[in-house]
Amino acid sequence: MLRLPLPLGAAALLVASLGQAGCGRSERPTRGVDHAPPPLPFRSAALPAQVLFLTDGSGDTLRLVVEAPADDSQRLARYRPSATGVDSLTAQIDSAGKTPRHSFQRVHRADGQSVTAEVQYGRGFEGQARLVLAAPQGRQTTNLRTPPPFLDAAQLPLTFQALPFETPDSFDFNYVAPFEKRALAARIVVGHRESLRLPSGPRAAYPVRLQVSGLEERFWFDAAAPHSLLRIEERTRGVTWTASPPSAGP
């Protein structure tokens, strides 16, 4: 996978040209409102403003930011320095329902060039999403189907902080992957509370598993409110990122 701890992050490297289709998998988004799973049961309270730093043990650092809500929305961001620049993902989401309103991803290639993907929800054909892809080869604007319930790749895993951890369960949704040019069927599995070993000592945590397009990511959230993200495990690459204590405010 791409050296950015994001589900399906490698998809950005597969965009050789803007005329190319997605990465060849056959997964389709859930069809139609009548067949859509129920809404995701997120807590309606806004996510707490915070800045998290996660390291992978080799010196690489990931910075995750949750800004304080402005009006009825919040901005989430993730940044990771690379040899050619800072890869970044940002998402503007509804504070209460957690649905995405806008997202932007910038990924730097080994040659120093960057590719970007912007999604404007509700701005596309018949109220769907408007997707804009840009690379050295050019720029493409297209419509993107987003059957509900859906979440944008850029808002994860921070949005999982609002899950109802007390009752283990699984939830289906559509994972909007801009570089794939589509939404993919995905599932969240919330596990039983467990003891997580951290450098500072054991911590009670809730495990969350994300399954999408044959890949799997695992996350652990502090069992104590506000349920801050403690660890990310990239199972595909065998990389684990561990958070230092969160700080208040962005």
pLDDT digits (tens, 9 = 90+) for 84-134: 889 999 999 999 999 999 999 999 988 889 999 999 999 988 889 999 999
pLDDT at residue number 53 = 95
Give how far Cα 243 sits from Cα of 17, 23, 25, 79, 82, Å: 36, 31, 33, 14, 19
pLDDT at residue number 18 = 45
Of the candidates 29, 39, 27, the one whose C-alpha atom is nearest the C-alpha of residue 147 is: 29
Q: What are the structure tokens assigned to 237, written together?
A: 């690459």
Residue 11's pLDDT band, with cuts at 50, 70 and 90, is very low
Give how far Cα 110 sits from Cα of 3, 13, 14, 87, Å: 11, 10, 13, 12
The pLDDT tens digits of the residues spanning 21-36 come to 333 333 455 444 456 6
pLDDT at residue number 28 = 52
The pLDDT tens digits of the residues spanning 174-224 come to 999 999 999 999 999 999 999 999 988 999 999 999 999 888 999 999 999
Give how far Cα 31 sits from Cα of 70, 99, 185, Å: 33, 18, 10
